[in-house]
Amino acid sequence: MAVLAWGQIVVPVDSAAAAAPPCRSTVLAGVAHEDDDLLFMSPDLVADRDKGACLDIVYLTAGDAGSPGTRYVQQREQGVGQAYALLAGAPNEWRREDRRHAGRTVRAFVLRVPAGRPGVRVTFLRLPDGIHDGSGTRAQAGQSLLKLERGSIRRMTAMDRSASYDKKELTAMLAWLVADAHARTVRTLDYRNTDYGTGPKGDHSDHEVAARFVRAAAATVPGPKPVVVGYRGYSISALRPNVAVQPARRKESAFRRYLTTTECPKGCTDYKGPLSALYRNWMLRQYPTA
Is CATH 3.30.1490 correct for 3-231?
A: no
pLDDT of residue 32 exceeding 80: yes
- Band of the pLDDT at 24, cuts 50, 70, 90? confident
- Check residue 23 and give its pLDDT: 82
- Band of the pLDDT at 17, cuts 50, 70, 90? very low
Q: Where in the chain are the domains?
A: 3-231
Q: CA-CA distance, 286 to 187, in Å (whole number)?
A: 13
pLDDT of residue 131 exceeding 50: yes
Q: Which residues pair with 80 in a beta bridge?
A: none
Cα end-to-end span (Å), the chain: 48
Q: CA-CA distance, 215 to 259, in Å (whole number)?
A: 29
- Check residue 18 and give its pLDDT: 40
Say whether the peptide bond before residue 43 is cis (omega within 30 degrees of 0).
yes
Plot region of 66 (φ>0 → left; ψ -120 to 50 → alpha; else → beta): left
Q: CA-CA distance, 147 to 123, in Å (whole number)?
A: 23
- Check residue 267 and give its pLDDT: 86
Instruction: List pLDDT tens digits, range 213-265.
Output: 999 999 999 999 999 999 999 999 999 999 999 999 999 999 999 999 999 98
- Check residue 116 and give its pLDDT: 87
Alpha carbon distances (Å) from 159 to 64, 143, 144, 258: 9, 10, 12, 22
Q: CA-CA distance, 193 to 290, in Å (whole number)?
A: 12
Q: CA-CA distance, 279 to 251, in Å (whole number)?
A: 11
